[in-house]
């Protein structure tokens, strides 16, 4: 850390704002606030629903709860700071704040990929090896896979953060609404070739491994589904796999567009759009996809809401009576 501070001549960074016009800044704040609240409430609702309903205490929903936790944290790293910039018209972020953003963005983005991979494996075991499902996906195995996903994401984020902030920065203006690594490379006077090779090597290795496991899992799932004679059975299998496939496709496509598109397609507006696609869109759409396409989640959330309203009604009816007793 001492070496990092000695090499850097920048004590704070200046982030990019979506507009210099005050009315548009307020509009950006309101739009991002709405998006943030939808994402936060959607993901928290899924976590609470899974924790509340004992019928959802299964490996599939355990990993879904972890994914929702990742999404809630993921969007909380970048969007609140961007809202504060628009509201306060202050684009500064401290050096330590920028380090924290890079560390957390890489942690939660990596964790999302790892949990999506584990969820694909869970679906493979449930559909292709149903008789061995509870033995393979036991509590200990689920905890180990979740811990491995979190630990791997944290280790990778630490390595990437250290390699990024060992660079010497010549200017403080980051052309992005958060501290994005490619944009930090652009304002560095140090040769970033090793950084680029590191991120490409790790991303390609982890990405190819995870994508291969997902494709192998779904290849076996589809071959098993084709052998099912009942059309109702096929629909049931597809209904459990469709949300996960949709989420995987959305996350991988937006991440690939952001980090692997040609430099000729790079511009400030396109960079902003791509960053929104892979940092904001998945946390917002994931709970919507799972809640709309998953009947178990939908029914459990409805039961939890009804029970909460009934409890609130009982409390509100009892409270005035207690007040009358005390008044006497």
| Residue 56 pLDDT exceeds 70 | yes
* Residue whose token pair is 């005035």: 320
What local confidence, expressed as pLDDT, does residue 292 receive?
A: 66
CB 21 within 8 A of CB 50: no
What local confidence, expressed as pLDDT, does residue 6 receive?
A: 41
What percent of the chain is predicted at pLDDT more than 70? 88
Task: Give mean pLDDT, residues 99-114.
Answer: 94
Q: How far is CA 222 from CA 119, 145, 210, 235, in A?
A: 16, 24, 18, 12
What local confidence, expressed as pLDDT, does residue 1 receive?
A: 38
Average pLDDT, the chain: 84
CATH homologous superfamily, domain 2-317 = Rhodopsin 7-helix transmembrane proteins (1.20.1070.10)
Kindly provide the b/e burial profile for residues 189-218, where b requires at least 16 CB atoms within 10 angstroms of the residue's own CB.
Answer: eeebeebeeebeeebeebbeebbebbeebb
Least confident of 42-56, 285-299, 311-325: 311-325
- Separation CA 287–CA 41 (nearest Å): 9
In the chain, domain spans: 2-317
């Amino acid at each position: 850390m001492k070496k990092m501070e000695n090499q850097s001549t920048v004590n704070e960074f200046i982030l990019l704002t979506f507009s210099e016009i005050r009315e548009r800044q307020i509009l950006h704040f309101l739009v991002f606030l709405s998006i943030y609240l939808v994402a936060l409430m959607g993901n928290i609702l899924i976590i609470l629903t899974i924790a509340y309903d004992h019928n959802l205490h299964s490996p599939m929903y355990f990993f879904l709860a972890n994914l929702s936790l990742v999404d809630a944290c993921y969007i909380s790293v970048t969007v609140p700071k961007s809202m504060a910039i628009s509201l306060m018209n202050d684009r500064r972020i401290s050096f330590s704040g920028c380090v924290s953003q890079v560390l957390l963005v890489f942690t939660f983005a990596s964790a999302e990929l790892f949990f999506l991979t584990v969820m694909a494996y869970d679906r493979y075991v449930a559909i292709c090896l149903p008789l061995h499902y509870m033995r393979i996906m036991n509590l200990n195995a689920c905890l180990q896979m979740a811990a491995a996903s979190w630990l791997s994401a944290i280790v990778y984020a630490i390595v990437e953060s250290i390699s990024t902030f060992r660079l010497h920065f010549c200017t403080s203006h980051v052309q992005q609404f958060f501290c994005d690594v490619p944009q930090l490379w652009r304002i560095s006077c140090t040769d970033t070739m090793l950084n680029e090779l590191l991120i490409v090597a790790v991303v390609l290795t982890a990405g190819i491994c995870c994508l291969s496991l997902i494709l192998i899992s779904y290849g076996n799932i589809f071959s098993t589904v084709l052998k099912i004679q009942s059309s109702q059975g096929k629909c049931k299998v597809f209904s459990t796999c469709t949300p996960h496939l949709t989420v995987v496709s959305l996350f991988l496509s937006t991440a690939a567009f952001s980090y692997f598109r040609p430099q000729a397609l790079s511009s400030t507006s396109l960079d902003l759009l791509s960053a929104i696609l892979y940092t904001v869109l998945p946390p917002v759409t994931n709970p919507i996809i799972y809640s709309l396409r998953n009947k178990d989640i939908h029914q459990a959330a409805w039961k939890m809401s009804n029970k909460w309203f009934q409890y609130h009604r009982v409390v509100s009816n009892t409270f005035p009576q207690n007040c009358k007793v005390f008044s006497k």
